[in-house]
Chain A
Amino acid sequence: MSKTSRTSITMPAQAKKDSIIEIRAIAQHDMETGYRYTDAGKLIPRDIIRFFTCQYNGAEIFRAEFHPGTGANPLIIFTTIATESGTLQFEWRGDDGYEAFNQSQITIT
């Protein structure tokens, strides 16, 4: 059973060639740690996003692994060099078959 959720990418749509751009990627997710109990004393199983990858025109430029210590709705801000016009593809994968995809275009001026 696959799950998905809303994601959002914030990055410039245009950039000068070889300038450094900042990318903010956020996914809507509770990031259940697996360390919490219900009032009845039952352990709530872990349900988190495990992996995040970013591909720039098909080449992987950034990857992250999350653990339960990452907060809910994981936000990650990183940078990359704007090398060429094209598409940046973002992918999140997690427990219980969670997957989410997003993409963003960039034009080099």
Chain B
Amino acid sequence: MNQQNNQRRRWLSVLSLLSVGVWLNPMLAFAKKPEAMEAITRIAGSQTPKEGRVKLVLPPLVENGNLVVLKVSVESPMTSQDYVKAIHVIAEGNPLPNIFSAFLTPRSGTANITTRVRLGESQRVWAIAQMSDGSFWQGYADTLVTLSACTESI
């Protein structure tokens, strides 16, 4: 009886350690679909984009995935020393993860971009910002799509 209890205790501690491990491992905690990961790697190279500074706004519930208003803003002073070079938007659940890339200059004044995108399914959409100092930052938004953009035929 006592031994059984001990074993149970050991098991529980292993389990809790595992869950802590998942929490600490960024690759698992921010699990992305492989295609989206690949697209992000193509943008950021060997660097892993840091969390923060990028705000992505999507409606939480989308009725029609064909036209979804997407807003990205990046916190940046936008001076010639420190500005946002590029913003890339990556959708995890689209047949092609890349949605669009915008290239800014210090003359942009702000790093706010609004456009309309297609979403194939309920998914998480990422925005990756490349700063002039070479660092990468990321933000995401989750959305629920009731009508996919990719199903209709003509």
Q: Are chains A and B native binding partners rather than an unrelated pairing? A: yes
Seen from chain A, the residues whose Cβ lies within 8 Å of a Cβ on chain B are 20, 33, 35-39, 44, 56, 59-81, 83
Instruction: Give Cα A59–Cα B108 distance, bound, in whole angstroms.
Output: 12
Q: Tell whether B42 is near chain A: CB-to-CB under 8 Å.
A: no
Count contacts on B: residues with CB < 8 A to the other chain. 34
Instruction: Give Cα A94–Cα B110 distance, bound, in whole angstroms.
Output: 27
Seen from chain B, the residues whose Cβ lies within 8 Å of a Cβ on chain A are 66-68, 89, 91, 94-105, 107-110, 112-119, 149-150, 152-154
Contact B103 A69 (CB under 8 A): no
Chain B residue numbers with a CB within 8 Å of A80 are 107-109
Contact B100 A36 (CB under 8 A): no
Chain A residue numbers with a CB within 8 Å of B91 are 69
Count of inter-chain pairs, beta carbons less than 8 A: 105
Contact B66 A71 (CB under 8 A): yes
Instruction: Give Cα A75–Cα B109 distance, bound, in whole angstroms.
Output: 20
Given contacts A39-B153, A69-B96, whether A75 and B104 have CB atoms under 8 Å apart is no
Contact B103 A70 (CB under 8 A): no
Instruction: Give Cα A68–Cα B99 distance, bound, in whole angstroms.
Output: 7
Instruction: Give Cα A60–Cα B116 distance, bound, in whole angstroms.
Output: 23
Among A36, A60, A64, A76, point to the contact of B105 (Cβ < 8 A). A60
Q: Can you sample 5 A-B contacts with CB below 8 Å? A: A33-B118, A64-B103, A65-B101, A69-B89, A77-B115
Chain A residue numbers with a CB within 8 Å of B100 are 64-67, 69-70
Nearest A residue to B111, CB-CB = A79
Chain B residue numbers with a CB within 8 Å of A61 are 105, 107-108
